[in-house]
Structure 1
Amino acid sequence: MKLLDGILVLDFSQYLAGPSCAMRLADMGARVIKVERPGSGDSGRKMTLENLTIGKDSMNFLAINRGKESFCANMKDPEDLKILKALIKKADVMIENFRPGVMKKNGLDYESVSQWNPGIVYATVTGYGKEGPWKTKPGQDLLIQSMSGLAWMNGNGGEPPAPFGLSVVDSYAGVHMVEGILSVLVRRAKTKRGGLVEVTLMESALDMQFEGISTYLSNGHHLPVRASYNNAHPLLGAPYGIYETEDGYIALAMGSLEQLGRLLEIDRLSEYDQDKDAFVKRDEIKLIIADKLKTGTTAHWIEILESEGYWCSDVYSWERMLESEGFKALNFLQTFDFPNNESMTTTTCPISVNGVKMGSSLRGPLLGEHTEKIIEEMKLREEAAD
């Protein structure tokens, strides 16, 4: 028995933040029904990465919606709406990320739903919240990274800000939704009372930067300055960063300059005071380290540094990482088969409980694949007619 066996989740959300939240609940054992528009479904079905598709759907969509069933219903159709309400009455959790006001217009907002399902845990994600001048702006990951200051933290000083090369805000917001939903489910187990969980992409992006923002607010509002060379964290001093070697790259984390100088045979590093100079003179120090590291291979330097426990690592591409024995030991991939002899390999759940790996063996659904099955199983037409 999985942790969330018996919990029914209705996923009305699209793209990434909401769907990633629902996917994680499915990993933990919940039954997740993805509610989609007839004909087109979740807009994410057409949002491809490198034009990769399986059948009519983007591979990215199928990866983020594994573990779910697809149920088609038109909220603007009175008969479909009755069936949806019958389904919602049976649900434990409902997730949506429509523009503010859309669900209320259809009588499916939290205030309405909780009248006939008081135990429902209703989760909603927006870009910037329901109030304020940004409430109508598109809640898109790159825009949020840019407006929240996240992109400004990346890249070398003197160069343009650099966003993360993945939808990090969407993913982080999805994690926050899971946290909120599970917390209300725990309370409901004690009180039988549901609740409304609200998450914004902007607040998730700000929460991700709590260290930097707290530092800024506590040091007289002095903005951090990105290192001009090998910037990896604008609030940390040398040697923190990624350096080129003779045959690749090496990452150096926090560590003693004196120890590093001794191990790499860089006498000049002993001239710097760890407390006073590591941050103030970080560019100067990093350039000295960089010149030395280019004279040897990554493996050579790692062997020397790891011999005394200095924090360092190789810098892998996905190709090298996937072939590494360390990755293989994680058993972190799964393959799903689709109609027409197509298949896809993707990641699995990163959570284990009592030594048991969480996850779902159910592939991403085709549009409306389970509609009739769910209607018949739950007798939704009969209940809608009452």
Structure 2
Amino acid sequence: MAPLENLIVLEFCQYMSGPSAGMRMADLGATVIKIERPGTGEGGRQLAIRNLFAGNNSVLFHTINRNKLSYSANLKDPSDLIKIKKLIEKADVLIHNFRPGVMEKLELGFRDCARINPKLIYGEISGYGKEGKWQAKPGQDLLLQSISGLTWLSGNKNDPPVPFGLSIADYMCGTHLVQGILAALIARSKTGKGALIEVNLLSSLIDFQFEVITTHLNDSGKLPDRALKGNAHAYLSAPYGIYATSDGHLAMAMEDLKYLAAALELPQIIPLAEDGFTHRDQIMAAIASALASASTRHWLSIFEPADIWCAEVQNYDQFTSHPGYLAMNLEQSITLADGQQLKTTRCPIRIDGHIFRSSKPGPEVGADNRQLEQTLL
């Protein structure tokens, strides 16, 4: 039995942040019901990466909405709203990622829903919370990265701001929402009461940067100082970074510089080793010059037996064909309505050794109305 089996989750969400939370709960066995507008459904159905579609929906939609049901309803139609409120009576969890005030206008805010179902766990995602000048701004990932300072951590010293190459705010916030919901479910098992869980994209990005923001706050307000070349962490000493070899790239993590100097035959960096941060650029330049003289495989053959922390920098082709990746059994196939197989990743969580997979694609709009009305309404 999956750990969240028999848990009913209503998902009033679109795009990435809320649906990623619903995906994880569906992975773990919850019955997740997407509440969507009739006809077009949620906006994420047309949100495509590299314009990849499978059927009427984007490949991204299928991956982030796997194993869910769809109930279509016009939330401004009184008769449809009655049906939605009946679903709320039966639900354990409700999540939404509308802007602040939208659900309240629909009479589906936390207080409205708590009157319908006092045991309901009500989770909401916003861009910037409900207070302050930013609350009405669009909660879009790149904008959040830019506002929060995250773009000044990647790239090298003289580079412009560099955004993270993933929708990290959306995914982190969805993860935080699931954490809050699971905590509230445990509390409900003791008190019998529901709860309001509030998360926002900006807070999640601040939490994501907790180590570097804490450093900034306790370092006389100094700004992040990216390495001149090969930067991998704006606050860590040499040799931490990425270096070119004669045929690729090598990542070097934390290491005793005196030990590394001996392995690389670089005695000139030993006098600088006492303060690897102040002399970071000079040390990294010397290491870069040495590593560029031979292949990645050559350096791995020296460093790995010596337990020097390093790794080859791989692209997706190299990574997904590597025996290490294959041994982790991280992929699954989703079967679309036309029989097409869509490859994606699986839930990363194991419980008692069990791997959670789902072959069910994202649902068509309203595909489960009849079933849900027969069983829950």
TM-score bracket relative to the smaller structure: over 0.9
Does the 8 Å contact 2:334/2:358 carry over to 1? no
Distance 1:26 1:337 in 2: 16
1-structure distance, mates of 2:374, 2:231: 58
Residue matched to 2:371: 373
Aligned match of 2:348: 350
Partner SS state of residue 335, structure 2: strand
Matched, 1:142 2:142: yes
Aligned residues: 377
Partner of 1:383: none
**Could you tell me which residue of structure 2 aligns to residue 327 of structure 1?**
325
Describe the superposition over 1:159-215 as per-residue Cα deviations: whole angstroms up to 9, x where unpaired: 101011110111000110010000000000111111000001000000011111111
Q: Measure the CA separation in 2 of the matches of 1:265 and 1:48.
A: 50
Residue pair 1:246, 1:296 contacting (<8 A) in 2 also? yes
**Inter-partner Cα distance in structure 2 for 1:366 and 1:336:** 14
Alignment partner of 1:42 is 2:38: no
1:361 & 1:159 partners in 2: Cα distance? Answer: 43
Distance 2:280 2:270 in 1: 14
User: 1:27-86 deviations in whole A, cap 9, x for unaligned?
Assistant: 111111111110111101001111100111000011011121111111011111111111
Task: Find the aligned partners of 1:335 and 1:247 in 2 and give their Cα distance.
Answer: 34
Aligned ranges 1:1-386 → 2 under 5 Å: 1-274=1-274, 276=275, 278-378=276-376, 380=377
More deviation, 286-295/336-345: 336-345
* Distance (Å, rounded) in 2 between the aligned partners of 1:21 and 1:176: 8
Distance in 1 of aligned mates of 2:174 and 2:256: 37
Separation in structure 2 between the aligned mates of residue 70 and residue 304 of structure 1, nearest angstrom: 55
Aligned equivalents of 1:45 and 1:145: distance in 2?
Answer: 24
Aligned counterpart, 1:384: none
**What CA distance in whole angstroms lies between the structure 2 residues aligned with 1:311 and 1:331?**
25
| Offset at residue 220 of structure 1 (A) | 1.5
Deviation at 1:268, TM superposition (A): 1.6
TM-superposed deviation, 1:135: 0.6
Per the TM alignment, residue 23 of structure 1 is displaced from its structure 2 partner at its CA by: 0.6
Q: Matched residues in 2 for 1:273 and 1:54: separation?
A: 55
Q: Distance in 2 between matches of 1:354 and 1:366?
A: 33
* Gapped regions of structure 2 (runs ≥ 5): none
Per-residue Cα deviation, 1:221-261 (whole angstroms, up to 9, x for no partner): 12221111111111001100011111111000000111111
Following TM superposition, by how much is the alpha carbon of 1:90 offset from its aligned partner in structure 2, in angstroms?
0.3
Local SS of the residue matching 1:89: helix
Q: Counterparts of 1:52 and 1:84 in 2: how far apart (Å)?
A: 32
- Which secondary structure does the structure 2 equivalent of 1:272 belong to? helix
Cα deviation per residue 1:236-289 (whole Å; 9 max; x = unaligned)? Answer: 011000111111110000001111111122222223233x2x101111111111
Alpha-carbon contact 2:124-2:198 (below 8 Å) kept: yes
Shift of 1:158: 1.7
Work out the CA distance in 2 between the residues paired with 1:93 and 1:48: 28
Q: Following the alignment from structure 1 to structure 2, what is the Cα–Cα distance between the partners of residues 200 and 336? A: 30
TM-superposed deviation, 1:131: 1.3
Q: How big is the alpha-carbon RMSD for the aligned residues of Structure 1 and Structure 2?
A: 1.0
Q: Distance in 2 between matches of 1:228 and 1:247?
A: 22
Residue 313 of structure 1 aligns with an amino acid whose one-letter code is A
Post-superposition Cα deviations, 1:284-327, rounded to whole Å, max 9, x if no partner, equal 11111111111111111011111111110011111111000001
Larger mean CA deviation between 52-61 and 361-370 belongs to: 361-370
Which whole-Å CA distance do the structure 2 matches of 1:143 and 1:332 have between them?
Answer: 31
Q: Distance in 2 between matches of 1:2 and 1:173?
A: 24
Task: Report deviation, 1:362.
Answer: 2.5
Inter-partner Cα distance in structure 1 for 2:365 and 2:292: 53
